[in-house]
Amino acid sequence: MRILPVDPIANASPGALVDFLAECRGIAERAERPHLVSISVAVDSLDPLAVLESIFEPGELHFYVEKPSEPFAVAGAEAVLSFKASGPDRFSECQKFIDETLAHSLAVGAVDGPFGGPQFFTTFTFLPDGGRGEPFPSVQVFVPRWQVGCRDGATVATANLLVGPGDDVRRLAERVWRAHAKFQAFDYDHAAFPEHGGAAVSGVEEVGGEGRYRVAVARALELIGAGKVEKIVLARAQDLHGTGPFHPLRALNGLRERFRDCYAFSVGNGAGVSFIGASPERLLRVRGGRLATEALAGSTRRGATASEDAALGSALLRDEKELREHRVVVDSIFRRLAPLGLQLEAPARPVLRRLANVQHLHTPIEAALPPGVRLLDALSRLHPTPAVGGSPREAAVPLIAELEGFSRGLYAGALGWIDARGDGEFFVGLRSALIAGSVTRLYAGAGIVAGSDPSREHAETELKIRAMREALGA
């Protein structure tokens, strides 16, 4: 990406913006191909979710994620560029698209601000090949036309556009200038939330029928006992039927307030379907040459009192079955990343990570990123981790669809973003829901190892799925 030493917005002149875009058009004409132009501006504090609510269109791609406890939030909507792929090479094909786009990109303004410059919002489904009729492709990456991001009290608004030979730069400039004026003085009072979407739940249906999950766990334990797998993660799904269409962003408001230590997220497929959730699990982050990931496996409920909560947490830290499940995940992360030459660092024992409704065993893992190794190189090796798939991965993952009886799609997939510097962050699509009109499908899973009990695992998934229902007002 080429960063130009001008700031057409800072001059507060539409004419300066026209001149700048004319310069960009000249560059595109000499290269004989369109260029992505990214214009970033530092603005007063904005709520990215409120901005997304004001421009949300079901027929457009969107991506939103927020982690209030860190704090950061970013939203992007409408695709100026997008790419889809499937199959075992989807990570490398995604990287090629990003590299090719950046090789013909121009950026100006607050590029070094939080989420400045173009962001590549990306989703990978759980499996590399999606079935026919799936709402989300195996990999989808897009650069949004409009994005707003904030971190540590600073906010940057960005307009991304394609400028090609012969384009009408005055028309492009007018559109960018209107957006700039809106973001500089955002009017929350007139960012009316859509009237539709306040549907009530009229029925709840267990996908596959009541009792299927316990049967699936029992079968998994037979496979573990026979030495076929060491661990397998099984999920259940519930369909909520509404009196009308559910609105993803209305539901998201409840999730981000209830789960402030999680990634509250929403992604849209551009055809009226959204995948939302509040995920507790970071899959991978790369920032300033450092890679960070984590093992999050083994869980118990929260207590009603401080004493009960502490007792449950203490028991979890001593639970042989839960510790064994956690160690499988830690060992797999080290084994999967070893060929990249990373010198991984992690504490010897897990600690507790407490969320609103559950507490987990947690091990943070970090390393310096070696030269030539990029975020997607590591992501392709990590996804899916044993925390959402199983171990050995090659044996466990193919069994999941058969045992569960439904397609996961983006559930337990990898969702996140990559910027022009190669930094970015991905989280796992857990504690989530697929919203399609008047039907919302909820997902929750649990890891099955030797010693697991079908009733206990069902209770764990019920705890997780109930929290989602409550956050959605069901």
Catalytic residue IDs: 231, 281
CA atoms within 13 Å, Cβ hemisphere of 32: 0
Per the listing, tokens 């004319």 go with: 22
As beta bridge partners, residue 285 has 292, 425
Residue 171 corresponds to which amino acid?
R
How far is it, in rounded angstroms, from Cα 92 to Cα 57? 31
Instruction: Cite the DSSP H helix spans in 338-428.
Output: 375-382, 393-404
The pair of structure tokens assigned to 252 is: 């998201």
CA atoms within 13 Å, Cβ hemisphere of 48: 33
3-class secondary structure, 253:
helix
How far is it, in rounded angstroms, from Cα 108 to Cα 17? 11
Which runs of E-coded beta strand occur in 191-272?
Answer: 201-206, 231-242, 263-269
Chain mean position to CA 91: 15
Positive or negative: CA dihedral 298, 88, 60, 425:
positive
Per the listing, tokens 């999730």 go with: 255
How far is it, in rounded angstroms, from Cα 237 to Cα 209? 10
Residue 88 corresponds to which amino acid?
P
The pair of structure tokens assigned to 186 is: 């955002």
How far is it, in rounded angstroms, from Cα 203 to Cα 130? 28
Q: CB under 8 Å to 100, separation ≥6 — which residues?
A: none
How far is it, in rounded angstroms, from Cα 85 to Cα 7? 36
CA 396 to each of CA 50, 340, 448: distance values in angstroms, whole numbers, following the listed order? 41, 24, 11
